[in-house]
Chains A and B, each alone.
Chain A
Amino acid sequence: MTAVLEVEGLKTHFFTRAGVVKAVDGVDFSVAKGEVMGLVGESGSGKSITGFSILGLIDPPGRIVEGAIRFNGEDIAGASEERLKTLRGNRIAMIFQDPMMTLNPVLRIDTQMIEAILAHEKVDKREAWERSRDALGLVGIPSPEERLQAYPHQLSGGMRQRVAIATAFLNRPDLIIADEPTTALDVTIQAQIIHEAQKLTRQTGTAMIWITHDLAVVAGLADRISVMYAGRIVEQGETDLVIDHPLHPYTVGLLGSVPSANKRGERLYQIEGMTPNMLDLPEGCAFAPRCRWATDACTPPPGVQTVDGRQIRCVHPRREGVTA
């Protein structure tokens, strides 16, 4: 499989008055054509910033300080704004978390979809309109002609997120970054939207990065999972392997806090401790203060090692029979 996207050693830091926030601090992953990668982690772990870095949408005081982002072989980490504009929404699209906020409240749906086509292609308005209508149809929106004339507030949250997804697919991008697109929706709508998105990636061969804090969401959707903690990917591998045999203590904790993974009646397991303060991370493994298996060996930051077909950052992987 050819990689659509290869991220190597990506570091995105925010230079705030209070200090340097290393929101993304050495992230490596790649996504192949047609592949869905789940990017999972707690709030503040750097998932969104990873996504925005790929699109070149990091605003001061933030900046990509290191690393390569190879998109179809071209390093776009330091690309010009002009170059990035031709990629955004065209070859790489993004969907946001809150459908109530992502559409402009004072512009009609047709305006907001058609402009996404016209920004990248010289086609006449009629054709752009037809493509918008067809895209709405594809994501399961009934009577798309009428919906095109609506303003966002006239649509439900689920409908709006479908509009955002349809907009993302308009220019048949090679890669879509979906940043928690279902978090704000209720469970049934969530399932429908995931289904639509999955169907579309299959049909179009679009690669997708699906960002979420909920492992259960990506369990049935992603081909591979990357687990992120405090700006780093701590475990990465095939979905089944990661879900069934998590190796990193943080992944073990995340899985423990997924309701479906708990046996009936058993107490819901919570990862102990606070989410890390990004301004004041521990010297060694960032997870150490919350880790049950932490030892002195965890103090130099653990590098990436390959264990059982996965890349993990931990000196004491939770392999069966291995205890520290």
Chain B
Amino acid sequence: MSAFVIRRLLQAFLVMALMSVIVFFGVNVIGDPVYMLVSPDADQAELEAAIARLGLDRPIWEQYLLFLQGALRGDLGNSFIFGEPALKLIFHHMPATLELAFSALFLSVVIGIPLGLYAGLYPDNPISKGIMAGSILGFSLPTFWVGLMLIMVFAVELGWLPSTGRGDTATFLGIESSLFTADGLSHLFLPALNLALLKISLAVRLTRAGVREAMGQDYVKFARAKGLSTRRIIFVHVLKNIMIPVVTVMGLEFGSLIGFSVVTETIFAWPGMGKLLIDAILQLDRPVVVAYLMIIVLFFVIINLIVDILYSILDPRVRLQDQGA
């Protein structure tokens, strides 16, 4: 187990190093941030001073080595725009994004799994067919369009929920979140639902497919032949089996929830990392873009590790060993 974790950490380190190269050089190809920072009527000397101040006068490989040097000390550079450390900016915006992503994950699990279970148990029922049709819509409608529609209907027409911002936050157990105030929750609901839509559909489909498959298995027939109650068969025998793929996939999807939150945050003006990223891209604030992407890579790596460990807990046939990948 510990050998497995160490191995995975080494792999993770390698992935991070590789990504840093790709991200750093990639970002350096687009635009010239200096013109965003210096007034249009600045003279040559001012321009050169600005370039030197940002360190952009050095050769690109030297810039990268400097970045790497800083990165090893936990410093991913200062924002060109705000002059603050990029990491600090990201951490400042992270709670809002995490709160949104976790809420979306929560919604997809509590809505998606029961619906999928129902559709899997009664495949020919009209309600099940409705659920499946809905899940196709959830997959195919673009997130931004659904977001706008949610705002139109629930915020503009009905006026039930606010359309933008994070609302009031409160601190509980050292965590500051809008989950802890009624106003915060009302602000959170629409964006979380918008972000969750795709994952709800995914959870529905995964669960339904899993239930359909499990119901035809001999172990379910044997459980029935033992005279067990339907409840026990569904909630112990079937659900425990299908939780394995569902947890794996939903866990892995958490990274993409954070990624997709860029769209949702933009539409709902949610002050998270995604919005920070879009602003940084528009202003060619390279250090913030690089720092954001590195953090996202780190997220994916950590999520993968956690999912692997969870998987081994759920499925007794899998034991984490220092073999294979």
> Are A153 and B236 in contact, with the CB atoms below 8 A?
no
With the chains together, A18 CA to B228 CA distance in Å? Answer: 33
| B164 part of interface (Cβ distance < 8 Å) | no
Q: Which B residue sits closest to A167, measured CB to CB?
A: B226
Query: Does any Cβ of A come within 8 Å of B315's Cβ?
Result: yes
What residues of B have a CB within 8 angstroms of the CB of A106 in the complex? 240-241, 244, 314-316
Contacts of B225 in A (CB 8 A): 55, 57, 88-89, 93-94, 96
Q: Which of A98, A105, A153, A167 contacts B241 (CB 8 A)?
A: A105
CB pair B227 A85 closer than 8 Å: yes
Interface residues of B in 219-263 (CB under 8 A from A): 219, 221-229, 232, 236-237, 240-241, 244
Q: Please give, as numbers and ranges, the residues of chain A lying within 8 Å of B217 by CB-CB distance.
A: 101
Looking at the complex, which one of B221, B226, B317 makes contact with A153 (CB distance below 8 Å)? Answer: B317
> How far does the alpha carbon of A90 sit from the alpha carbon of B229 in the complex, in Å?
13
CB of A279 within 8 Å of the partner chain:
no
Query: Any chain A CB within 8 A of the CB of B218?
Result: yes
Give the secondary structure class of B's interface.
helix
In the complex, which residues of chain A have a beta carbon less than 8 angstroms from the beta carbon of B218? 96, 98, 101-102
* Size band of the interface chain B makes with A: 20 to 34
Q: How long is the Cα–Cα vector from A108 to B316 in the complex, in angstroms?
A: 9
Residue among B218, B219, B225 with the highest chain A CB neighbour number at 10 A: B225
Chain B contacts for A151, CB-based, 8 A: 316-317
A 159-198 binary contact with B (CB < 8 Å = 1; else 0): 0000010010000000000000000000000000000000
Judge whether A119 and B241 touch: CB under 8 Å: no
List residues 88-132 of chain A with CB under 8 A from any CB of chain B. 88-90, 93-94, 96, 98, 101-108, 115-116, 119-120
- How many angstroms between the C-alpha atoms of A87 and B244 in the bound complex? 32
A164 to B317, CA, bound (A): 19
Are B229 and A119 in touch, CB under 8 angstroms? Answer: yes
Residue ID in chain B nearest A171 by CB atoms: B227
> Which B residues lie within 8 Å of A115 (CB)?
226, 228, 232, 236
Chain B residues, CB < 8 A from A116: 226-228
Contact residues of A between 34 and 88, Cβ < 8 Å to B: 55, 57, 85-88
Tell me the complex Cα distance, A101–B220, Å: 9
In the bound complex, residues from chain B placing their C-beta under 8 Å from that of A85 are: 227, 229
Q: Nearest CB to that of B317 among chain A residues?
A: A153
Q: Which residue of A lies closest to B315 (CB)?
A: A106
Given the complex of chains A and B, what is the CA–CA distance between A298 and B222 in angstroms? 40
Number of A interface residues in the complex (CB < 8 A)? 28
Chain B stretch 62-97: residues in CB contact (< 8 A) with chain A: none
Q: Are B237 and A88 in contact (CB under 8 A)?
A: no
Chain A residues near B240: list those with CB within 8 A: 104, 106-107
Q: Across the interface, do B227 and A105 meet the contact criterion of CB distance under 8 Å?
A: no
Q: What is the bound-complex CA distance between A189 and B74, given in angstroms?
A: 63
Min CB distance, B316 to chain A, in Å? 4
Q: Is the CB of B224 within 8 A of A88?
A: yes
What's the minimum C-beta distance from A177 to chain B, rounded to whole angstroms?
Answer: 9
Q: Are A103 and B222 in contact (CB under 8 A)?
A: yes
Q: Which residues A264-296 have CB closer than 8 A to chain B? A: none
State which residues 143-162 of A face B: CB under 8 Å: 151, 153
- Distance in angstroms from B101 CB to nearest chain A CB is 28
Interface centre among A94, A106, A164 (most CB of B within 10 A): A106
> Shortest Cβ distance from B222 into chain A, in angstroms?
4
Chain A contacts for B222, CB-based, 8 A:
94, 96, 102-103, 164
Residues from chain A with Cβ under 8 Å of B237 in the complex: 104, 107
Q: With A86-B227, A96-B222 known to touch, is A104 a contact of B241 (CB < 8 Å)? A: yes
The reply to whether B227 and A89 contact each other, CB–CB distance below 8 Å, is yes
Q: Which residue of A lies closest to B244 (CB)?
A: A106
Roughly how many angstroms separate A94 CA and B223 CA in the complex, as a whole number? 10
Residues of B within 8 A of A93 (CB): 225-226
Give Cα A105 to B240, complex, Å: 10
Question: Which A-chain residue is minimally distant from B239 (CB atoms)?
Answer: A106
Partner of A104, one of B219, B224, B229, B244: B219
Closest to B242 in A: A106
Q: Which residues of B contact A94 (CB under 8 A)?
A: 222, 225
Q: Tell me which of B224, B226, B229, B236 contacts A107 (CB under 8 A).
A: B236
Flag if A105 contacts B226 (CB, 8 Å). no
Known: A153-B316, A153-B317. A101 touches B219 (CB 8 A): yes
Distance from B247 Cβ to chain A, minimum over Cβ atoms (Å): 12
Cβ contacts under 8 Å, A89 to chain B? 225-228
CB < 8 Å neighbour of A88 from B226, B232, B241, B317? B226
The smallest C-beta distance from A108 to any residue of chain B, in angstroms, reads 8
**A216, B227: Cα distance in complex, Å:** 32
Determine the distance from Cα of A151 to Cα of B221 in the docked complex, in whole angstroms: 19
Which residues from chain A contact B236 at a C-beta distance below 8 Å? 107, 115
B217–chain A nearest beta-carbon distance, Å: 7
* Chain A residues whose C-beta falls within 8 Å of the C-beta of B315 in the assembled complex: 105-106
For the complex formed, measure the closest distance between the CB of A35 and the CB atoms of chain B, giving whole angstroms.
21
Q: Nearest 6 pairs between A and B by C-beta? A: A89-B227, A89-B226, A88-B227, A101-B218, A151-B316, A94-B225
13 example contacts (A-B, Cβ-Cβ < 8 A) are as follows: A89-B226, A96-B221, A101-B217, A102-B222, A104-B240, A105-B316, A106-B315, A107-B236, A107-B240, A115-B228, A119-B232, A120-B227, A151-B316
Residue numbers of A with Cβ under 8 A of B are: 55, 57, 85-90, 93-94, 96, 98, 101-108, 115-116, 119-120, 151, 153, 164, 167
Q: A85-B227, A105-B219 are in contact. List 13 more A-B contacts (CB 8 A).
A: A55-B225, A57-B224, A93-B226, A94-B222, A94-B225, A104-B223, A104-B240, A104-B241, A106-B240, A106-B314, A106-B316, A119-B232, A153-B317
